[in-house]
Amino acid sequence: MAEYVYVALANGEWHGNVADPDSSDTAVLALTAITEAAQETVTECLWQAWPVRDEHDLGMHPREADGQLS
């Protein structure tokens, strides 16, 4: 049976998708999934993109690049 990870606030509230069980294949994929889940919860609670890049005023998205979280 697969186990799922939810990134939630202290009150248990969470939004978005659960972290995919396959994301634990590498540390970078696991960190990317957790970062993305945290971003989804905060973004939903604020009702705006978070974090925002100053250069273009759009939200950032975590990605794996060359074996590292970017």
pLDDT in tens, 4-48: 777 888 898 887 767 666 666 778 877 888 888 888 888 888 888
Prediction pTM value: 0.70
pLDDT for 8: 81
Which domain does 29 fall in, by range?
Answer: 21-69
The count of domains in the chain is 1
pLDDT for 1: 61
pLDDT for 12: 85
Residue 65 lies in a domain: yes
Residue 29 near residue 23, CB atoms below 8 Å: yes
Residue 7 near residue 38, CB atoms below 8 Å: yes
Residue 51 near residue 40, CB atoms below 8 Å: no
Residue 3 lies in a domain: no
Residue 14 lies in a domain: no
Residue 12 lies in a domain: no
Q: What is the token pair recorded at 56?
A: 């273009």
